[in-house]
Amino acid sequence: MANRVTIVDVAERAGVAISSVSSALNNRPGVSESTRKRILETAAELKFVPSLRGKSLSAKRAFAVGFVVHRDPTVLESDPFFASFIGGLESVLDSRGYALVLQMRSDAGNAVERYRKLSADRRVDGVFLSEIEIDDPRIELLQELQLPAVAINPDRGPFPFPAVRQDHREGIAHLVRHLTDAGHERIAYVSGPLNFIHSRQRLEAWRESVLDRGLRPGPTFEGDFTFDGGLRAADTLLSHKVRPTAVMFGNDLMAVGFMTRAAALGFDIPADVSVAGYDGIQLGEYIRPSLTTLRTSPHLVGAEAARLLVDAIEGKPGDDVDVPAAELVIRHSTGPAAV
């Protein structure tokens, strides 16, 4: 195997000092334009590729960003939302020369320490802040560490970091209208963990939308965004003496779990109970009946978050970004209310 071309090789071939090569390659002052041009031409001729380690030492950056997920590591196997979001991150990070450091912890306390360690070890130049909690301790920590961050779907209003948001309310209002137009008056809701801000945002949007239609909100169940959480929701909600005629979910994976358990209990969907999810994962197209849902844009949210974070790291902080609202996709899991 041929030896790797180094900055020393470029300096020797171009007849300049190593410091001059570093300045030219990193577009810093200190060399004339003619010398810069000769160095760049020499580097191209030798097919020189700067090492990340050398680049990091020169720029005093890690050229990496962190994403700590507060979930069990199996979540990436079961919930396609994360894969799409990470794909969006990578679509920008790779082209900007940054690597993604992904860590997963189900223990929120240990997850906080991960941020401290990532910063102390200088492994990352910034982080993504997702699944933000009520009184989230990471916010104060990141401010203390002065570590650039971008938040995903925090509440509206003052926030110490740039944010990317996708509105829940418009899509949920359309879904509630779709169900009430089909005659549903007893509409239940299964949320994600209510310590997450975005879970509460979706729950509140559901409640307001039902009230706006002149109805009383139906029963609620706190889930955990997992398939098993949907199974448990079915056991609870379908055992009510007065069952809901429709159930909305804070994500698609719980909705699929509910449908699976409902079928096992002998309920027909949508004849006995209509079911609707949130996220728009592809699995919803393939199950039978196919799942009515609100299609979100995790890839776009990830791409915008990555762009904002890299810009912040490079001293070009930008404004918050709102991506288009979730879109209602009507399929076969919803229908007229049971009489």
What is the domain partition of the chain in residue ranges? Answer: 7-59, 64-166+298-323, 169-296
Assigned token pair, 65: 């960003």
Q: Give domain 64-166+298-323's CATH superfamily.
A: Response regulator (3.40.50.2300)
The pLDDT of residue 119 is 87
Q: Do 64-166+298-323 and 169-296 share a fold?
A: yes
Give me the numbers of helices (H) and strands (E) for the chain, helices first please.
Answer: 14, 12
- The pTM of the full predicted model, rounded to 2 decimals, is 0.82
Q: Give domain 169-296's CATH superfamily.
A: Response regulator (3.40.50.2300)
The pLDDT of residue 325 is 95
Of 22-26, 88-92, 119-123, 250-254, the range with the lowest mean pLDDT is 22-26
Q: What is the pLDDT of residues 192-210, one digit of tens each?
A: 999 999 999 999 999 999 9
The pLDDT of residue 7 is 82
**In the chain, what's the furthest Cα-to-Cα distance?**
87
- What's the distance, Cα to Cα, between the start and end of the chain in Å? 75
Residue range 7-59 forms a domain whose CATH class is mainly alpha
Report the alpha-carbon distance of residue 294 to residue 281 in Å, rounded.
Answer: 9
The pLDDT of residue 225 is 92
Q: CB under 8 Å to 151, separation ≥6 — which residues? A: 129, 130, 132, 159, 161, 162, 163, 164
Q: What is the pLDDT of residues 227-241, one digit of tens each?
A: 999 999 999 999 988
Q: How far is CA 105 from CA 108, 110, 183, 244, 325, in A?
A: 7, 7, 43, 35, 29
Q: How confident is the model at residue 54 (pLDDT cuts 50, 70, 90)?
A: low
pLDDT at 56 over 60: no
Assigned token pair, 312: 């912040």
